[in-house]
Amino acid sequence: MGNQKSAAVGLQRTVAENLKERRLRLGLSQEEFAEVCGYHRTYIGSIERAERNITLSTLDALARALNVPPNELLRENNG
């Protein structure tokens, strides 16, 4: 996989992990969370499996639904 491509998938994985962690902290299922941000459950599932190269507007909608700043979802989890 090209360097640039694998790096981008790395960022998709970072968003996936942060999204899932924050959603579970709020005690929401994928379905409940999807309803909050106006997306379909299967779309949320695909983002959490790092399958989606989402855009800024999607990142913004997810962050709003989680009540966190958008850059929180890009925070590297070195822990």
| Other residues' Cβ atoms within 10 Å of the Cβ of residue 35 | 15
Q: Tell me whether residue 49 or residue 64 sits nearer to a second copy (CB atom).
A: 64
Please report whether residue 77 would count as binding a second copy according to CB under 8 A.
no
CB 60 within 8 A of CB 37: no
Question: With 0-12 CB in 10 A as exposed, 13-18 as middle and 19+ as buried, what is 50?
Answer: middle
Number of residues that bind a second copy (CB under 8 A): 25
Please report whether residue 31 would count as binding a second copy according to CB under 8 A.
no
- The residues binding a second copy (CB under 8 A) are 4-5, 7-8, 10-12, 15, 38, 53-57, 59-61, 64, 69-72, 74-76
